[in-house]
Amino acid sequence: MELLYSDPVDPQIVARSCSTRLAVRKSRYSHIVDLAIEEFMEEWNGAVGKDFCGSAGPCGSLIALGVPEAKPERIAIVTKATEFLCAVDVRGQAVVEALNQYRSSPGGKRADEIHDWEKWLAYRWESAGCALFLVFIVYACELDLTQSDLDTVQHIAWKGMAITVLSNDLYSFEVEATLDIQASGKISNGVWHLMKDRDITAEEAKHILLTEKLRPLEEQFLEEKAAFLRAYGKELPQLAHYLDLVELTASGNWYWSSQCYRYHSWRENLTRFGGRPISSFNIQKLDEAASNCDDYINAATHNGRPSKPDEGWAEMSMNDHTMMKTNGNGNPLKHQRQYLDKKYEKEKGFAEDLDEGKLSLPMIHLLNNSADRLMIEHILQQRSHDGSMSPEMKMLVLEKMNEAGSLAFTLETLRSIETKAREALALLEEQSGIPNYILRYLLTRLSDVGK
């Protein structure tokens, strides 16, 4: 059947951000989608009073790309429904019922208890709301199909939506690994499942997810869809069209996930993500947990153990949702790498901590080792008076840091702290007999900041 409401997206443009082989299209009614997102945001803020990070994206919204053939009179409704799911972070009653049915079936388990990939993917398919999104497709495109019709091609549509789930996981892992660790210490994500199941890093897991899971699944979907079209395409045109739309959902979601604000700008919108603001209370709890973590790590580093680790610590250590602190003065690794990392300059600004007057490790070393200490103190006093430091003064301070070896000292200190942290983690895992994948991942992320 002819595609009436969308235009193709240039494959070369798609290839710049994702590697799907499937064709990507975008709705001609994206302006309606954008307006619906704006209207829902206003309605939500008026009713709830909390902002959230929804389905918008620089390449187009989730519905404009994921359901590009939605009819113009229905596309706004489906968009607002999607925004609601983003806002409350639920998956719809139909999916909840399906998930409960799966859990109550023989062998039904929680996601973190499932080791077999196929069983885990079936669980993930349900929990991600794939059944609900298939309903969205039928409604938005006003397809004249019965449930019996849909059941005929469910095995093919299932693979298409599985592509949607796994491509989503590929790009959503960073935000989920941060926010879900803080919220519960549990993550329902393909990257995380592979990390734990194979005892590998996040980057290795992403590579496997893409090459060993996503691409073969994409090939299977295309082969089975093509076989159905050859056999029944002329006889069952509505079902053939439905499978075309499922393919567009898989490709559009992949393309959207590779660029969307929800997965790529979440740090800038941390309090907006998923309608779950990170409150000062949560930050305080994280700080308290990290402070408790300090004592344990210091003891483990010196081949000892805390005198009496309580049950709260035991639970935290195995499901740690805190940013690990390892040095005695309470500064995390990332904070100390600020002068050494070009990424930091891009994200936070050029030597902004000098404007703020923070006594970082490089500055402390400089004041204790520079022959020009009086000049540095004068510059800091002037900064305090002016409220900021000029770019020229910043360059001078950085030059003096380099001359005094402050930057080299900081890097050496960081490497030493990282080594001790990894040794402490290894000891912790040995004593507990349980691999701590969360702390491994957090240490790797912190280490990567300076590379």
The reply to whether 6-272 and 280-448 are identical in fold is: yes
Identify the pLDDT of residue 296: 36
Render pLDDT for 381-432 as a digit per residue (tens, 0 to 9). 878 777 888 887 888 888 889 899 998 998 888 888 888 988 988 888 888 8
Q: ∠ CA 176-181-186 to the nearest 5 degrees?
A: 85
Q: What is the mean pLDDT of residues 82-110?
A: 54
Identify the pLDDT of residue 44: 84
Q: What pLDDT band is residue 27 in, cutting at 50, 70 and 90?
A: very high
- Other residues' Cβ atoms within 10 Å of the Cβ of residue 208: 17
The first and second tokens of residue 151, run together, are 């059941």
Q: What is the mean pLDDT of residues 84-103?
A: 52
Task: Specify whether domain 280-448 bears CATH 1.10.3720.10.
Answer: no
Identify the pLDDT of residue 343: 43
* Domain locations along the chain: 6-272, 280-448
Q: What is the mean pLDDT of residues 370-375?
A: 84
The first and second tokens of residue 403, run together, are 């001359």
Q: What is the mean pLDDT of residues 220-224?
A: 96
Residue type at 367?
L
Identify the pLDDT of residue 183: 46
In the predicted structure, residue 137 carries a pLDDT above the cut 50:
yes
Domain 6-272, what architecture?
Orthogonal Bundle (1.10)
Percent of the chain with pLDDT over 90: 37
| Three-state helix/strand/coil letters over the chain | CCCCCEEECCHHHHHCCCCCCCCCEEECCHHHHHHHHHHHHHHHHHHCCCCCECCCCCCCCHHHHHCCCCCHHHHHHHHHHHHHHHHHCCCCHHHHHHHHHHHHCCCCCCHHHCCCHHHHHHHHHHHCCHHHHHHHHHHHCCCCCCHHHHHHCHHHHHHHHHHHHHHHHHHHHHHHHHHHHHHCCCCCCHHHHHHHHHCCCHHHHHHHHHHHHHHHHHHHHHHHHHHHHHHHCCCCHHHHHHHHHHHHHHHHHHHHHCCCHHHHCCCCCHHHECCCCCCHHHHHHHHHHHHHHHHHHHHHHCCCCCCCCCHHHHHHHHCCCCCCCCCCCCCCHHHHCCCCCHHHHHHHCCCHHHHHCCCCHHHHHHHHHCCCHHHHHHHHHHHHHHCCCCHHHHHHHHHHHHHHCHHHHHHHHHHHHHHHHHHHHHHHHHHHCCCCHHHHHHHHHHHHCCC
Q: Is the dihedral of CA 429, 189, 55, 77 positive or negative?
A: negative
Phi, psi of 27 (to 5 degrees): -60, 140
pTM to 2 decimal places: 0.65
Mean pLDDT of the chain: 77
- Other residues' Cβ atoms within 10 Å of the Cβ of residue 137: 23
Render pLDDT for 232-287 as a digit per residue (tens, 0 to 9). 989 999 999 999 999 999 999 999 999 998 888 755 554 444 433 333 333 333 33
Q: What pLDDT band is residue 336 in, cutting at 50, 70 and 90?
A: very low
In the predicted structure, residue 120 carries a pLDDT above the cut 50:
yes
Q: What is the mean pLDDT of residues 163-191?
A: 78
Render pLDDT for 303-331 as a digit per residue (tens, 0 to 9). 443 333 333 333 333 333 322 333 334 44
Identify the pLDDT of residue 394: 84
Considering only CA atoms, which of 447, 443, 448 is closest in space to residue 181?
443
Q: In whole angstroms, what is the distance from residue 262 CA to residue 273 CA?
A: 7
Identify the pLDDT of residue 305: 38
